[in-house]
Amino acid sequence: MSSVKQFQVTFDCAEPERVARFWCEVLGYVVPPPPKGYATWGDFDHSLPSEDQGRWFACIDPSGVGPRLFFQRVPEGKAAKNRLHLDVRVGTGLTGDERLAALEAECARLIALGAVRVRLLRAGGDNESCLVMQDIEGNEFCLD
């Protein structure tokens, strides 16, 4: 049996490019080069039939380690809590006040990009503190 070597994470959203560019800023990802024969993604997009323009966008980890993120336009809005979410690892190896300071600093940076702070989940038992947030279209994620 063969094992999976790569995967991508797909987001359903209303504005694929806007959400993709937000996640580029969050994760340090980049927009890949446009298809061969096109100077920009805008040029490529304008070559598509009008009903397909702006339908999807993607971003990649420039180091090639993280998964590709794909954003596709869907007609329906977000209606419930995500069944899957990303944990953005900003406090790895930190504990207590040092961890909280790192989470709060990243939270402030992401709020400036349009994210929303939902709540702080304080450390308890085996778990360290994390911050629950929402991206610019309301998708939950955690600063961990």
CA–CA separation, 41 and 47 (whole Å):
10
Q: Is the pLDDT of residue 87 over 80?
A: yes
Give the predicted TM-score (pTM) of the model: 0.87
Q: What is the pLDDT of residue 135?
A: 96
Q: Which structure tokens are listed for 82?
A: 């995500």
Q: What is the pLDDT of residue 126?
A: 73
Which sequence spans correspond to the domains of the chain? 8-73, 86-143
Q: Is the pLDDT of residue 4 over 80?
A: no
Q: What is the pLDDT of residue 1?
A: 67
3-class SS letters over 117-135: EEEEECCECCECCEEEEEC
Q: What is the pLDDT of residues 34-86, one digit of tens each?
A: 999 999 999 999 999 999 999 999 999 999 999 999 999 998 887 877 778 89
Q: What is the pLDDT of residues 94-142, one digit of tens each?
A: 888 999 999 999 999 999 999 999 999 887 777 788 999 999 999 999 9
Q: Where are the beta strands (DSSP E) in 26-129?
A: 56-59, 68-73, 86-88, 116-121
Q: What is the pLDDT of residue 138?
A: 93
Residue 107 near residue 133, CB atoms below 8 Å: yes
Q: What is the pLDDT of residue 110?
A: 97
Q: Is the pLDDT of residue 27 over 80?
A: yes
Half-sphere exposure of 105 (CA within 13 A, CB side): 9
